């Protein structure tokens, strides 16, 4: 018997895996839009805000359909969306602030500033967003 066979199956692991995939897709869109808008207009803070906005919309819809089981939640769709938007606005402010400070005051390249913003945003938004989703919203293990 291998060591892996004795480990209990945690129901949150598939959910975290789906959340990671959704996050990667949203971050990919975020960076693609950032690069395009920054190339077109040369305004990294604007590009960061637009990219983040596109990414957060994709993240919400994919999370709602593939990560969290919105149908079993005790929260209304309006409340879930409001909570997601509220945490997203915090992320938006962090994104804009970090990119503006990193490019203007530290002289960093826009893409470096965007990477720093993504890290800061993750550290700032994840603890806020985590309690807004209850364990009763776990989706079954299949994707």
pLDDT at 125: 81
Give CB contacts under 8 A, 24+ apart, made by 7-15.
Answer: 11/138, 11/141, 12/135, 12/138, 14/139, 14/140, 14/141, 14/143, 15/67, 15/68, 15/138, 15/139
Question: What sign does the CA torsion over 49, 52, 58, 62 have?
Answer: negative
What are the phi and psi torsion angles at 131 (to 5°)?
-70, -15
Structure token digits, residue 47 = 């590009």
pLDDT reported for residue 68: 74
Residue 37: predicted pLDDT: 98
Q: Is the Cβ–Cβ distance between 94 and 113 less than 8 Å? A: no
Report pLDDT for 87: 85
Sequence-ordered alpha helix ranges (H) in the chain: 12-41, 44-62, 77-104, 110-129
Radius of gyration of the chain from Cα atoms? Answer: 17
pLDDT tens, residue order, the chain (143 aa): 455 555 555 566 777 788 889 889 999 999 999 999 999 999 999 999 999 999 999 988 898 888 776 666 677 778 878 888 888 889 999 999 999 999 999 999 999 999 999 999 888 887 776 666 544 454 554 44
Task: Point out which residues pair with 126 in neighbouring strands.
Answer: none
pTM of the model: 0.77
């Amino acid at each position: 018997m291998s060591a892996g066979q004795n480990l209990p199956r945690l129901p949150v692991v598939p959910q975290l895996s789906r959340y990671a995939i959704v996050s990667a897709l949203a971050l990919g869109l975020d960076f693609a839009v950032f690069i395009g808008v920054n190339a077109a207009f040369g305004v990294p803070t604007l590009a960061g805000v637009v990219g983040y906005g596109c990414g957060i919309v994709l993240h919400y819809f994919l999370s709602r359909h593939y990560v969290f089981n919105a149908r079993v939640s005790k929260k209304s769709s309006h409340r879930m969306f409001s909570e997601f938007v509220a945490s997203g606005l915090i992320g938006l402010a962090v994104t804009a602030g970090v990119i503006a400070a990193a490019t203007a005051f530290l002289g960093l390249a826009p893409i470096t500033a965007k990477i720093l913003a993504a890290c800061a945003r993750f550290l700032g938004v994840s603890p806020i967003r985590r309690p807004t989703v209850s364990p009763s919203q776990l989706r079954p293990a299949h994707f």
